Amino acid sequence: MPPQVISNRYELVQPLSHGGMGDVYRGFDRVLDRPVAVKLIRQAVVGSSPELAEEFAKRFRREARITARIQHPGVPQVFDAVLDASHENLYLVMELVDGVPLHDYIDPAAPLPISWAAAVGAQVCTVLSHAHAVPVIHRDLKPSNIMVARDGTVKVLDFGIAAIMRTDVTKLTATGSPVGTSHYMSPEQVQAARITPQSDLYALGCVLHELLSGKTLFDGSSDFARMLQHVQAAPTPLRELRPDVPEELEELVLHLLRKRPERRPVDTQEVHERLFPFVPPAGSTPEPHEAGQPGVPDPTRVYRQPYAPRPRPTATAAPAPTTVNPNAHPLPVPVPAQLQEDIKAAMAHADALLDDERFAQAAEVLYEVIPPAAAALGPDNRKVLDLRQQRAAVLFLGGDFRSALPEFDALAQAFSRTEGPASEYARSCRVQAAHCRAELGQVTAALEQFEAVLRQVRSVDSDVSEEAIELRRAIGFLLLSEGRFAEARHVLEPLYSDLCVVHGSDDEDSLEIADALARIRLAHDEEHRRSPEE
């Protein structure tokens, strides 16, 4: 079944989440070849007639323009708002955040380290300060609307949704109930009173209380009971639930949770100033008690290493060739008819995407069919390996060398098991892995891998075979790009001589090597012309 396409541009690939307002899908932008998040606003929210739906969409576009003025890395951008042809559904196209929802951090048995909770709160404050200046009030701040990206940046989601859910503009639910989530609603939201930036501060107090204690602020048995508690009940001080919480932090949370908005902190700047002493300083190393939960992004990283570059790629050596076990060679397995159709459809879809240079989406289309193929046919089945190899090649063509490298390494090992370490397929994957390493700056490992494959080729074929010539060329040009002129010349001069014999001096490949050697001689002469003082 072909994917649903919105506005002749956005493909809905797979559902991500389900909520009261609508469903969120992972999608693809056909024009920019990038993944996006697409949120479907339910028809009941949009309106019961084409006229109401059109008015709703127009208002959203106006509000989205205001929301787009929140220029902050902690605010995922809204790219587009699309009302479908039936006037029943409104789709919001947004930045897709790669991260972990804040609710996944909350564990009643293991509350977060103080520094992690403070780092989340401080980052949320910076986001809200930019939003409140627009002004945009979020109205539904809660752990499921907060994500921590892989680099530790906190992202506050659904500002675009908040902008169109203004209860002072229109009634958006059948019951007319106020917008919000009962665990995090301010008293004024419960009472349908005027909403101000202090309403977001109350919700932030609820979130901080939960991060530090592992428990929601109020635990009434129903939405109504919890809403009543927000209006009438006193919050439990944090130190009664967790004695190691600093007094100043407990006081801040209680200040945020005051019933009357005017008695809460003046603004997010004040809250940020009071949280900042609990945020780790730049250059600090986490203490054991600050390690947090394994496998989740660290929200303190942006404070410990502000504006840090990406970690350097690890220059891992190429995996050593493995010996083939003749008994491990997979027996032919018949391909189920449906799987065969799915593979054929995926290949055709990927080919069409490649024609449009939509490499990222083509790789994803191929990836979707690989797990079921491996489950049905076995991970080392030739058809499965061919699919994986094609996907790795697509990643390489799209410039995603970081993702292609481990796949080519794994494929080289798989082909070594099934076809033999010196097989054409294993060698090809090692060469592609070496090219990835070169592109990622892992020059030493790349050279070692190219040379190892060249030795294998020389043991079974001529030094002037097409494969050997290409490897010699790759080694020579990689050395040349690194300014290792003497070593490059040592590789390229005999290669040029061989090419002249095999193809002639006027051949395109011969001329390319001749030009490289001329550049090496020029660099050598220039070096010798320099005076000793230089």
Q: Which domains can be identified in the chain, with CATH numbers?
A: 4-95 (3.30.200.20), 99-304 (1.10.510.10), 332-399 (no CATH)
Q: Do 73 and 125 touch, CB atoms closer than 8 A?
A: no
User: What residues pair up with 11 in beta bridges, in sequence order?
Assistant: 5, 28
Integer Cα distance of 412 and 438 in angstroms: 17
Predicted local distance difference test score (pLDDT) of residue 308 = 81
Is 200 marked active-site?
no
Integer Cα distance of 168 and 166 in angstroms: 5
Comparing 320 with 453, the larger pLDDT belongs to 453
Q: Do 74 and 155 touch, CB atoms closer than 8 A?
A: yes
> What are 196-252's pLDDT values in tens digits?
999 999 999 999 999 999 999 999 889 899 999 999 999 999 999 999 999 999 999
Phi, psi of 380 (to 5 degrees): -100, 10
Integer Cα distance of 13 and 361 in angstroms: 10
Q: What are the residue ranges of helices labelled H in 233-336?
A: 238-241, 247-256, 268-275, 301-304
Integer Cα distance of 412 and 509 in angstroms: 28
Strands 146-149 and 78-83, by their bridges, are unpaired
> What are 81-122's pLDDT values in tens digits?
787 776 667 788 888 988 999 999 998 888 899 999 999 999
Q: Which of 66-70, 295-299, 361-365, 402-406 has the lowest mean pLDDT?
A: 66-70
Predicted local distance difference test score (pLDDT) of residue 387 = 95
**pLDDT band at residue 534 under the 50/70/90 scheme:** very low
Average of per-residue pLDDT values in the chain? 85
Provide the CB-side half-sphere exposure for 430 (13 A, CA): 32
Tokens standing for residue 454: 């060249």
Q: What are the residue ranges of helices labelled H in 147-296?
A: 159-164, 187-190, 197-213, 223-232, 238-241, 247-256, 268-275
**pLDDT band at residue 428 under the 50/70/90 scheme:** very high
For residue 123, the one-letter residue type is Q
Contacts of 264 (CB under 8 A, 6+ apart): 198, 201, 202, 205, 255, 256, 258
Separation of CA 207 from chain center: 25
Integer Cα distance of 123 and 417 in angstroms: 49
> What are 159-186's pLDDT values in tens digits?
756 555 443 333 333 334 455 688 999 9
Cα 511 to Cα 506, 514, 519, distances in angstroms: 6, 5, 12
DSSP state, residue 509 = H
Which one from 29, 140, 200, 409 is the annotated catalytic residue?
A: 140
- Is 367 a residue whose pLDDT tops 50? yes
Tokens standing for residue 416: 């070594």
Predicted local distance difference test score (pLDDT) of residue 163 = 52
Q: Sheet containing 22-29: give its strands across.
A: 4-6, 10-18, 22-29, 34-41, 90-95, 78-83
Separation of CA 438 from chain center: 24
- Is 419 a residue whose pLDDT tops 80? yes
> What are 473-527's pLDDT values in tens digits?
999 999 998 889 999 999 999 999 999 998 899 999 999 999 999 988 887 766 6
Cα 184 to Cα 187, 227, 284, 344, distances in angstroms: 10, 9, 33, 49
Comparing 44 with 82, the larger pLDDT belongs to 82
Select from 226, 246, 227 the least CA-distant residue to 238. 246
Threshold 0.75, pTM exceeds: no
- With tokens 């789709």, the residue in question is 91
Tally DSSP H helices, then E strands, for the chain: 20, 9
Integer Cα distance of 194 and 417 in angstroms: 69
Burial of 361 per CB tally in 10 Å (0-12, 13-18, 19+):
buried
